[in-house]
Structure 1
Amino acid sequence: MRARRGGHLTPLDETLLHSPPVADGWNTLLGAIRTQTLLDADIRELAILRVAALNGAAYEWDAHQPVALRAGLSRHQTDALRGAAEDAAPLLTPAQRCALAYTDAMTRAVDVPDEVFDRLRSHFDDRRIVELTAVIATYNLVSRFLVALHVGSPGGPADENGAQA
């Protein structure tokens, strides 16, 4: 976990380490999602930010907005992802708009309408659709974990010694 993070642990890592088997599996999954897919980084980070915005996961947003900017999204684009999809859409490429619609459908309703999925297929091959789906599903897991345990928030969970997790 420390190696994947460049030598330091985040509040999320420290929370996960209360269960070493969960931390190990989490690290493996997130490492694969972040570094071993063919999905373009801008699409991956757009999906992550949108999930964070929809689920109110401020810690996730703060961690990924700089990554999204490095991946080629503009500050204007990332800021728009916090609002309504129809407001963000004009700032995005056609592939990014399809990824946004897919992210919204998966996060809000789980079941994706055929028309959203059909538009997605016009921009992504099967592997990238699987990878995008895994990104969205994984970061829904991450955001729900962060929000439920108030990771990175004042008043977050305390460990056995009373320290912030």
Structure 2
Amino acid sequence: MTTDTNRLPFPAEPTEAQRAAIERITEGPRGGISGPFVPLLRSPELMTRLQLVGETIRFGGVLDEDLVEVVVLTVARHWDQSYEWAFHHPIALSKGVSPDDVDAIGRAERPSDGRLATMWNLVDELQRTKDVSDATYAEAVAVFGEERVVGAIATAGYYTTLAMVMNTARTPPPEGPGAALPW
């Protein structure tokens, strides 16, 4: 992805609706607005509703935190999404995903940890083929159960949406010391 020109930076003069959306997201667990929510400000109602989905996924969903991060990094790698990768790389490490497994995901390879590998298989196959084989689905359900499989698919869909928004907007990665992009 080319990040030369941020097509949708923070609005110079936010509208009343944008200011209300900023206030709402700032009062939540995110504590501020950055990344995909900056371009999404162009549609304040959509941004507000979409960020509530993300809030549920990250802060109250059915997946363990390490699994959420495996899904996010897998999607980020699939979409070559620099912001998602740089933002979530340190979070994944802090949630217990090993550096070797994070590096493997960055190379578009299966992690070595068994349950993380099962999650990666599900999300990677869905992203690459737009489908999930019976074998991959059965393995995921056996390891995680139907509720968490659905949660994983919804998480992948949410972060795919954000990746598409940021790739179109050319949202730059967060400033500061971040993880080197593996692609």
TM-score by length of 1: 0.84
Residue 152 of structure 2 aligns to a residue whose secondary structure is helix
- Which residue number corresponds to residue 146 of structure 1? 166
Q: Residues 102-160 of structure 1, C-alpha deviation per residue, up to 9 Å, x if partnerless?
A: 0111111111111110111110112111111111111111111111111126xxxxxxx
Q: Give 1:67 shift.
A: 1.1
- Which residue number corresponds to residue 77 of structure 1? 101
Alignment check: 8 A CA contact 1:12 1:152 kept: no
Q: Give 1:5 shift.
A: 5.2
Within-5 A mapping of 1:31-110: 31-85=55-109, 88-89=110-111, 91-92=112-113, 94-110=114-130
Q: Residues 50-92 of structure 1, C-alpha deviation per residue, up to 9 Å, x if partnerless?
A: 110111001110111111111101222211111142xx43x22
Residue 18 of structure 1 aligns to a residue whose secondary structure is coil
Alignment check: 8 A CA contact 2:75 2:159 kept: yes
After the TM superposition, which parts of structure 1 deviate over 6 Å for at least 4 consecutive aligned residues?
none
Distance 1:65 1:4, change over 3 A: farther
Aligned residues with identical type, % of pairs: 24
Counterpart among 116, 126, 129 of residue 149 in structure 2: 129
Q: Give 1:38 shift.
A: 2.2
Structure 1 Cα separation of the partners of residues 102 and 63 of structure 2: 18
Number of residue pairs the alignment of both structures matches: 149
Alignment check: 8 A CA contact 1:44 1:132 kept: yes
- Determine whether 1:115 maps to 2:135: yes
Residue 78 of structure 2 aligns to a residue whose secondary structure is helix
Gaps of at least 5 residues in structure 1 are 154-165
- Matched to 1:121, the amino acid is V
Q: Which has the higher contact order (CA 8 A, sep 6+)?
A: 2
Structure 1 Cα separation of the partners of residues 67 and 36 of structure 2: 23
